Amino acid sequence: MDTIPEYVVARLNRAIAEARARGVDVISLGIGDPDLPPDPALRKRLALEVQRNDAARYPTNHGEPALREAVSDYYQRRFGVSLDPATEVLPLLGAKEGLAHLATAILDPGSLSLIADPGYPVYAGGPLLAGAASLPLPLLPENGFQPDLSAVSTEAAVQARLLIVGFPNNPTGAIARPGLFGELGAFANQHDLVLCHDHAYADIVYEGDPAPSALADPGFRAHGIEILSLSKTYSIPGWRIAFAVGNPEVIATLQRLKTQIDSGMFLALQRTATWLLGQTDIAGPPLATYRARRDLACTRLGEIGMPVAPPAGAIYLWVPVPTDESSLAFADRVFEQAAVVVTPGNAYGAAGEGFVRMALTIPEDRLAEAIERIGAIL
């Protein structure tokens, strides 16, 4: 554990709690925790499922057959992707758990994982826990925040056993460009590695076509899995409902690992998710609210000398640091002098240096106040 750094959200939560205990009015833009409550019908359904006599019994890691069928039906309806519910669907206790355990299931000590940079911190944390190394795939503004596979050396490609990306991307908000998943599939076929697409923000796209599933590409599907989370779509991050879907061999390996670590998803949540995935009238992500917050924040940031392009998806702004400070120094100064929390870009990888992430998960008035406070110290 001496080699494992403190997780960025844990550090932010502690700093926020300590400041608020001193009476400081902290405005946090640091954590992507949806602030709007889930649909009342969804909460009512969970309350109903909790009352079933068998709800508190042990579940199974594989999940109830009805849930796996519901995920399969959802993928066909939503993405046009057919899944075998018996072998290609595995419930997870949230995407974070699945991503971390995937690294343990696939990587040996000394092996290599290729990870999107900037990207969700667990992309790097999972391999670290597995005793493996990570090689960043830089997502740069000039490339539209897309990975450049031609930059991966032959030596690294031979050593790699796992490659992880996620679109819409956290933290940049970028959408996968056409053809990317096919290129990843060809790369995996050439170098014999496992692919994983983190699809946590599948339903948060502001303009244009919905975000596609990576499994719609046969080349990707032959070598990989996708992890779909319901957290951001339905504003239920604390419920920890996600699924790994795709390549049966990878799914079976991940399931075998999980049988040694957890006992599966709470039955009431499984049954609620089964019901939810079959509904067409339950409110999904509040796109209009997030879009209004995005547009307001981009306008106000431009007015204080921090111009940022509106992201195409996800619930964050990826904002260039407006001074010659490091991203960490700027974030620390904003916290200390303005009582506003932003996340330093280097928390998401080396390519994140020079940026800070701001989450669109607070009301517009507080978002505007936070930006006004930042402007006052620039």
The string of pLDDT tens digits covering residues 143-177 is 999 999 999 999 999 999 999 999 999 999 999 99
Q: Tell whether the model's pLDDT for residue 7 goes beyond 90.
A: no
pTM above 0.85, yes or no: yes
Q: What is the mean pLDDT of the chain?
A: 96
pLDDT of residue 6: 82
Which pLDDT tens digit goes with each residue over 114-143?
999 999 999 999 999 999 999 999 999 999
What is the pLDDT averaged over residues 13-21?
A: 90
Please state, as a whole number, how many other Cβ atoms lie within 10 Å of the Cβ of residue 140: 14
Q: How far apart are CA 139 and CA 136, in angstroms?
A: 9
pLDDT of residue 13: 86
Which pLDDT tens digit goes with each residue over 310-368?
999 999 999 999 999 999 999 999 999 999 999 999 999 999 999 999 999 999 999 99
pLDDT of residue 321: 98
**Amino acid identity, position 28:** S
Which pLDDT tens digit goes with each residue over 40-76?
999 999 999 999 999 999 998 899 999 999 999 999 9
pLDDT of residue 295: 98
pLDDT of residue 12: 84
pLDDT of residue 9: 81
Gyration radius of the chain over CA positions: 20
Ramachandran category for residue 182: left, alpha or beta (phi over 0 → left; psi -120 to 50 → alpha): alpha
What domains can be seen in the chain, in order of their start residue?
8-31+286-377 (3.90.1150.10), 56-277 (3.40.640.10)
pLDDT of residue 372: 98
Residue whose C-alpha is closest to residue 116's, from 99, 97, 138, 96: 138
Which pLDDT tens digit goes with each residue over 195-226?
999 999 999 999 888 899 999 999 999 999 99
